[in-house]
Amino acid sequence: MKLVIYNNGRLGALREDGSVTDLNHAYVAYIKSRGEPRPQAKADATVPADLLAFIQEGKKGLDEAKKAVAHVKAGNKHGPRGEKLHYSGEEVKLHAPLPSKATKIAMAGANFYDHSLDAARTLRGDTTTTIEDLKRQVEKGEYPAWGFWKHAGCVIGPGGETSYPGRTQRLDYEVELAAVIGKQCKDVAEKDAMSIIYGYTIVNDLSIRDGPRRPGPDGLFYAKNFDGCAPMGPCIVTADEIGDPYKLQIKQWVNGELRQDGSMENIIRGYDWWLSHLTRDMVFYPGDIICGGTCSGTAMDQTPMVDGKTDPKLFLKPGDEVEAWIEKIGSLKTSIVAKQ
């Protein structure tokens, strides 16, 4: 199922034609049609209108929501109080499927083989290291595992606008598959980790790349956190519908030009490793997110460093339109606008 937050913040199921079914209202209508008492109270408990509360219901909530969608597909259009159950794409405004403002968003760094090789070439002039060399480093435990956090307050939704940061001339893009956690967990074993993932969405990791080092002149946190730096959406696709996340194709366009064209098969460490790694000393809660990194094709990847500087030509500028796409999830479009 493709879960969205739409219009006034209610939970919906996204259909292939872009229309949306209101899951809570549809479930009320479904159980009312079966003659069950107190349908609204039961719906609020099992298929709540709030995304985080719905995720917390787990498989039971998802199974019942599927019955609600089937009820609408059978031709039922209104609830017992006249509630509209289904909206066309033209009637819908999608928001970021961010479960909560308290959501942790963990980002894996340098976690794709092709992206890592390109970064080595452009940043350090290293043209000899191969993917096989990187794989040997990973097997020996010599490849560094690092990452950072995105602040939930920096998230924007589909079709949103990112204000161009005043401190940069080199704003970069990174399409990433984001895993949404479904259960409270700590000290997770790798073998159990994938069963804890509820679903997946897209995050576009917008980053400041000025200065002689990748993080930017103000440090990694400031290079990765500013208003609108984390476009997210358009939906959360549940894990059962995604299947194997490492088979997905990922792409990114800038003003219609294909810049990133990769595959999740190039990921270095999977979500099972990261969830196990991050929960060693920290509890993860339903709705928390882990982004797995990006493939080759970022502006940084394509811009060699010369005398400690990079040409700003391929980096984003005000007026640019970016579109991140991941197979089975869809497209996430963002406009880069002049500083407000």
Concatenated DSSP letters of 11-62: EEEE-TTS-EEEHHHHHHHHHHHTT-S-HHHHHHHHS-SSHHHHHHHHHHHH
Task: For residue 333, give both structure tokens.
Answer: 């479009």
Are residues 7 and 76 located together in one domain of the fold?
A: yes
Q: Which tens digits make up the pLDDT trace of 24-45?
A: 999 999 999 999 999 999 999 9
Q: Identify whether 145 is part of a domain.
A: yes
Q: Are residues 56 and 193 in the same domain?
A: no
Residues 116 and 42 in one domain: no
Is 100 within a domain?
Answer: no
The pLDDT of residue 220 is above 80: yes
The stretch 203-229 carries a mean pLDDT of 81
Same domain, 14 and 142: no
| Dist. CA 283–CA 158, nearest whole Å | 29
Residues 160 and 232 in one domain: yes
| pTM of the full structure | 0.96
- Tell me, yes or no, whether 161 and 234 share the same domain: yes
Domain membership flag for residue 98: no
- Smallest CA-to-CA distance from 299 within 230, 237, 240, 252 is with 252
Same domain, 164 and 142: yes
Q: How many CA atoms lie within 13 A of 124 on its CB side?
A: 9
For the chain, give the percent of residues with pLDDT over 70: 98
Alpha helices in the chain (DSSP H): 23-33, 39-46, 51-73, 113-124, 131-140, 190-193, 220-224, 239-242, 271-278
Q: Which residues contact 195 (CB under 8 A, 6 or more apart)?
A: none
Tens of pLDDT along 100-134? 999 999 999 999 999 999 988 988 888 899 999 99
Is the pLDDT at 213 greater than 90? The verdict is no
- Tell me phi and psi for residue 4, to 5 degrees: -135, 160
Asked which of 58, 93, 128 is the last residue of a domain, the reply is: 93
Considering the domain architecture, whether residues 227 and 316 belong to the same structural domain is answered as yes
> What 3-state class would DSSP assign to 307?
coil
Q: How many folded domains does the chain comprise?
A: 2
pLDDT tens for 311-338 read 999 999 999 999 999 999 999 999 999 9
**Is residue 277 in some structural domain?**
yes
> In angstroms, what CA-CA distances link 159 with 87, 150, 228, 316?
19, 19, 11, 16
Taking the CA atoms of the chain, what radius of gyration do you get in angstroms? Answer: 21
How many other β-carbons are positioned within 10 Å of the β-carbon of residue 190?
14
Residue 19 lies in a domain: yes
Please check whether residue 49 is in contact with residue 23, taking contact to mean a CB–CB distance below 8 angstroms: yes
53 lies in the same domain as 160: no
Per-residue pLDDT reduced to its tens digit, 78-103: 999 999 999 999 999 999 999 999 99
Boundaries of domain holding 55:
2-93
* Residue 262: inside a domain: yes
- For residues 276 and 189, give the distance between their C-alpha atoms in angstroms, rounded to a whole number: 6
Nearest of 326, 145, 148, 173 to residue 248 by alpha carbon: 326
Residue 208 belongs to a domain with what CATH number?
Answer: 3.90.850.10
Mean pLDDT to the nearest integer, 191-201: 98
Q: Domain end: 32, 60, 93, which one?
A: 93
Q: What is the pLDDT of residue 218?
A: 55
Domain C-terminal end among 50, 67, 93:
93
pLDDT at 16 over 90: yes
- What pLDDT, on a 0 to 100 scale, did the predictor assign at position 210? 85
Considering the domain architecture, whether residues 124 and 58 belong to the same structural domain is answered as no
- 99 lies in some domain: no
64 lies in the same domain as 154: no
Average pLDDT over residues 169-179: 97
Type of residue numbered 1: M
Contact 2, 180 (CB under 8 A): no
217 pLDDT more than 80:
no
Please check whether residues 16 and 160 belong to one and the same domain.
Answer: no
| Bridge partners (DSSP) listed for residue 180 | 199, 289
CA pseudo-torsion sign 327, 98, 226, 221: negative
pLDDT over 70 at 212, yes or no: no
Lowest mean pLDDT among 67-76, 118-127, 230-239: 118-127
The average pLDDT across 145-164 equals 97
Greater confidence (67 vs 122) lies with 67
Residues 328 and 241: their CA atoms lie apart, in Å, by 8
Tens-digit pLDDT profile for residues 249-289: 999 999 999 999 999 999 999 999 999 999 999 999 999 99
Say if residue 184's pLDDT is above 90.
yes
pLDDT at residue number 211: 61
* Mean pLDDT across the chain: 95
Joined tokens for residue 23: 């899951």
